[in-house]
Chains A and B, each alone.
Chain A
């Protein structure tokens, strides 16, 4: 056993560059695999897990200030009553839209246990804890904010899974909470049944919140899973390639050892041992690195999933990755070692000395006839001498570039999706009416008087029902023609008169109607029949219908104003000026700054990180192949240097050896990436109940595709750069002495 152990140790030491490549590849693969596993875990019903963890409220009920709060037998647990008011928070000139501010001393009551993501919980008056949405990216712990003219310090940022408040203050903070209503948070025995609670002035059921959250979440899950699976496949492939290559490179030594008396079993043990000596520490470090990387990455994923919480990777994921990757590397080493162990000693030495075999002679000859510099033809011919290794390297490049093509398409699609949803181009400014009593017409006059206002329309909403259906339906109603508000029309036309409506995809699918059909709906103002004249893109999670307010009477709930600005106007500057004019009467914000946009930003960061990791792994696959090739061809390189090949020509030859693989891999990856994009986007849309506009689907332009295909060549060249440098610097006399 000592001889086997010594052989393993000596092998790891002797081939230092090879050992280093195996170490880095296994390390990076372990980190990528852990991240992939973490993302898969995070993607598994994130809302439900957060809801269970926080013991979320099935029902968020608000009662009049003086109402007596009754409990219903259906209630299994409750928290509150907490005093709540609706207020606007501001920091300097920055103002947040109106939201609920709750007076609450407990962070973790029986229901709605808040998760702190920064700072600490309240200890008394003068302090405030913000929800992550309220805090955004600019408000931090330690900042001072104003709420209802009271100056308070931000001491923490905490998340409620059902968003029970935008901020929390101490219950004794009476200057903020004056005239408050009462909030009660309930857990119910049967969440589908709403209990009869007298005195209720408003309520939010968790199903609605879940629907909203999952509406945003569902489109994201398939692509995160796609990335995770890509990561797992690539890591596995490259580890097998690298490890098997390392063993094959040692065939000559295996032959010598067999001649000295090693049995096939001892050969396998020595090589598996040699690889595991490198792979196990690399795995441990990779898992640790993956854990570190997972903190920002999971935070990004959780932001995207709108369930901000402390990101965690379960301990068993570490064990699984460690055990799985160790087993994989062991098996990858044992396979070729077993084959070598079965060869006769002389055969192993021959194979080890002359690995090129008879492959590619004709191709090399044909290439030599081309009017290209000789180092390039030598390099281009190289992949044909080892077809199996070439195929594996090509698959690595193929997957790497497919990832880049897919990621590029997805990034554009997400950006287009957000733009289509926010309608940032057409109606970039939203104005909420805040004052009590609300002064809508005064606010409208102020907006119309504002320079650079192009158009303004009031948006109102109402809940409605289709007779015989329990499904909720939301009607958004505008003053007259609001076709300029920018809803992308997928079919039909915009409504032209009261009684006509444009519907979202979810409405059409939920109620089984098509453009041209009539639909009867019950609104709080009475029953009405509307004709659906067009389908508009809508990224909401509920069925929505857009129509002229004139046909709906006085049953509408005020939503806000949508404003378009004159061309060339900066919406942020416009909103700031308008806010000064509005004072306490209203609040203007830029639609691109909405929460959905933050989600898109988080997703784009996530895509970029994963793409970078996966292309790095693909690049390492190339690097490994070139290291193996260079090692095998060290003698030939020495001869060529002796014959007058300059270091620059050696570098060119080594890099050229990967160009053809990169070009073919890149060329194949472009249609594959497009196919993956074309296949997954509608699935994402379907998951979210969306019909995606053409701008979201047709995102690749010919010039972009050519550039993306060229990424294969670039990836191949970058992967080959380092070993090309080693080969160029090697001394001819040393190379000629080398076996």
Chain B
């Protein structure tokens, strides 16, 4: 299997004098894997996710995703890479309040310049597959927590990214909804979607991931 994510000696410091958030991390994730990143608060999990997503830049080392060296890309190129290369699901959904579920899902496709008809067809397909066909015209405030997270997942997948990043996807929903979200992620991975899941929920990691790595004090074990 080819590596989809490759981190080589990656360090990240937010302050010159303080301890590094990540310290010489080496990590590879193969295409089709579902990897759970675990660790306590402040261990560097979110920093790792931000670097893989191209939302932040490492202080040293190289980050390569789907064959693209992110450290060498401009902000514009990084944004373009995120559109098609990565889908992100957040703990607090981060939906845009005054757009309907369908319009929220359409945003990355619109930004990528996908044709309107094709984008709408793909959005309808995703919403139907996630059980949201009847909720496409609803605003986020009218949706339950589980529905919001499913809309966020649909939005993350609309451009068919090779990599799905999920940052505590069940952190803001109740247990039953969390179970639904976990099942959804597992189903996606079964269908070939590479998933990098950041969580401190060992149960979720066990159910969704094919491999688990631990981040502690900026260092990775189990990579």
Nearest chain B CB to A590 CB, angstrom units: 58
Are B107 and A643 in contact, CB atoms less than 8 angstroms apart?
yes
Q: Report whether A733 and B155 are in contact in the complex, using a CB–CB cutoff of 8 Å.
A: no
A222: interface (CB < 8 Å): no
Residue-wise interface mask of A (629-647) relative to B, using a CB-CB cutoff of 8 A (1 in contact, 0 not): 0000001100111111111
CA distance A373 to B96 in the complex (A): 17
Is chain A's binding surface mostly helix, strand, loop or mixed?
helix
Q: Check B139–A649 contact: CB distance below 8 A.
A: no
Closest residue of B by beta carbon distance from A649: B111
Q: Which of A365, A374, A647, A733 contacts B107 (CB 8 A)?
A: A374
Decide: A646 and B80 in contact? CB cutoff 8 A. Answer: yes
CB <8 Å contact, A646 and B79? yes
Closest beta carbon of chain B to A428's beta carbon, Å: 59
CA distance A368 to B111 in the complex (A): 12
Q: How far apart are B216's CB and chain A's nearest CB, in angstroms?
A: 21
Could you tell me the dominant secondary structure of chain B's interface residues? helix
Please tell me if A568 contacts chain B, counting CB pairs below 8 Å: no
A644 touches which one: B90, B99, B112, B139 (CB < 8 A)? B112
Interface centre among B50, B79, B82, B96 (most CB of A within 10 A): B79
B56 & A733 in contact (Cβ 8 Å cutoff): yes
For A374, give its contact among B80, B110, B155 (CB under 8 Å).
B110
Determine if B201 is an interface residue (Cβ-Cβ < 8 Å).
Answer: no
* Alpha-carbon gap, A648 to B111, bound state (A): 12
CB–CB A643/B155 < 8 A: yes
Is the Cβ of B99 less than 8 Å from the Cβ of A364?
A: yes
Interface positions, chain A 610-657, Cβ under 8 Å from B, are 635-636, 639-649
- B75 in contact with A642 (CB, 8 Å): no
Jot down 23 A-B pairs with beta carbons below 8 A, ordered by A. Answer: A354-B97, A356-B97, A356-B98, A364-B99, A374-B107, A374-B111, A375-B111, A640-B96, A640-B111, A642-B55, A642-B82, A642-B94, A643-B108, A643-B111, A643-B155, A644-B80, A644-B111, A644-B112, A645-B79, A646-B76, A731-B55, A731-B56, A736-B90
Q: Are the CB atoms of B111 and A645 closer together than 8 Å?
A: yes
Known: A365-B103, A636-B96. A732 touches B55 (CB 8 A): yes
Residues of B within 8 A of A368 (CB): 99, 103, 106
Q: Report A-chain residues with C-beta under 8 Å of the C-beta of B82.
A: 642-644
Residues of A at under 8 Å CB distance from B?
354, 356, 360-361, 364-365, 368, 371, 373-375, 381, 385, 635-636, 639-649, 731-733, 736
Give complex CA distance A545, B18 in Å. Answer: 90
Instruction: State whether the Cβ of B100 lies closer than 8 Å to any Cβ in chain A.
Output: yes
A642, B83: Cβ atoms under 8 Å?
no
B198 to chain A, nearest CB (A): 13
Option from A385, A636, A647, A736 in Cβ contact (under 8 Å) with B75: A647
For A642, the chain B residues whose CB sits under 8 A away are 53, 55, 82, 88, 94
Answer whether residue B116 sits at the interface, using C-beta atoms and an 8 A cutoff.
yes
Complex contacts, A647 vs chain B, CB 8 Å: 75-76, 79
B52 vs chain A, min Cβ distance (A): 12
Considering the complex, give the chain B residue whose CB is closest to the CB of A374.
Answer: B110
Contact of A736 among B76, B94, B96, B99 (CB under 8 A): B94
List of A residues within 8 angstroms of B79 by Cβ = 641, 644-647, 649
Residues of B within 8 A of A648 (CB): 76
Question: For A354, what are the chain B residues with a Cβ–Cβ distance below 8 Å?
Answer: 97
Closest residue to B74 on the A side, CB-wise? A647
Chain B residues near A643: list those with CB within 8 A.
82-83, 88, 107-108, 111, 155
**Contact status of A644 and B94, CB under 8 A, knowing A368-B99, A731-B56, A732-B55:** no
Chain A positions within 8 Å of B99 at CB level: 364-365, 368
> Measured between alpha carbons, how far is A527 from B96 in the docked complex, in Å?
89
Chain A contacts for B159, CB-based, 8 A: 644
A639 touches B75 (CB 8 A): no
**Closest Cβ–Cβ distance, residue A364 to chain B (whole Å):** 5
Residues of A near B107 (CB, < 8 A) are: 374, 640, 643
Q: What are the residues of chain B within 8 A of A639 when measuring CB–CB?
A: 94, 96
Residues of chain A within 8 A of B155, CB atoms compared: 643
A412 to chain B, nearest CB (A): 45
Given A371-B116, A644-B83, A644-B112, residue A364 in contact with residue B98 (CB < 8 A): yes
Q: Which of B98, B99, B155, B159 has the most CB of A within 10 A?
A: B98
